[in-house]
Structure 1
Amino acid sequence: MALRKRPEPEEPSDPARLRVGMRVAVLDNNRWIPGNIVDDFGEGPDPSAFGRDWATTRRWAVALEDGRLLFRNSAELRPTI
């Protein structure tokens, strides 16, 4: 039985193209990991509004195939086939 190669992620995502239920790859520890978008929290407030640059909000919740749930912004996701 031949092994199937995972599809390579496409170019950076246009937020208008992303949607709940879409298959995506998420960059985590220098590896692209496949998953599905499970929620869209919309555009968050500007981090400078809080007077800090840590613990900022993320737009997308992504359930990875390895069972983890990650929260990422559009620029950190790539659609997969």
Structure 2
Amino acid sequence: METQEPFTVGAHVKVRYSSDPALPRDQWSKESGVIKEDFGEQVTVATDRSWALARRYAVALDDGRLVFVDPEHLEPA
């Protein structure tokens, strides 16, 4: 059983991220950044939309972009 604590605000992380929805996840690049906000565990509401999905963390990437990701897309820097 894995007991890893959630990432915390201010933590330096590597993010698997791509703005291209057609690119498979295993081809997403890793980018460095800092967690700016943790929105906590969010209740997933069943919907048929595939845009504007809620994500747990807001991460400011080193290149200045702000991205929203789930824990499975993060790793310690």
Q: What's the TM-score once normalised by structure 1's chain length?
A: 0.70
State the distance in 2 between where 1:57 and 1:34 align.
21
Residue of structure 1 in register with 2:21 after alignment? none
Which of 10, 16, 27 is equivalent to 2:16? Answer: 27
RMSD: 1.4
SS of aligned partner of 1:71: strand
Residue of structure 1 in register with 2:48 after alignment? 52
The answer (yes or no) to whether the contact 2:9–2:37 under 8 Å persists in 1 is: yes
- The total of aligned residue pairs comes to 64
What is the deviation of 1:32? 0.6
The answer (yes or no) to whether the contact 2:10–2:36 under 8 Å persists in 1 is: yes
Residue of structure 2 in register with 1:40 after alignment? 38
> What's the % identity of the aligned pairs?
38
SS of aligned partner of 2:30: strand
Residue of structure 1 in register with 2:7 after alignment? 18
State the distance in 2 between where 1:53 and 1:44 align.
17
Residue of structure 2 in register with 1:73 after alignment? 70
Which stretches of structure 1, 4 residues or longer, exceed 3 Å deviation after superposition? Answer: none
Of the two, which has the highest radius of gyration?
A: 1
The answer (yes or no) to whether the contact 2:17–2:73 under 8 Å persists in 1 is: no
Structure 2: where are the runs of 5+ without partners?
19-27
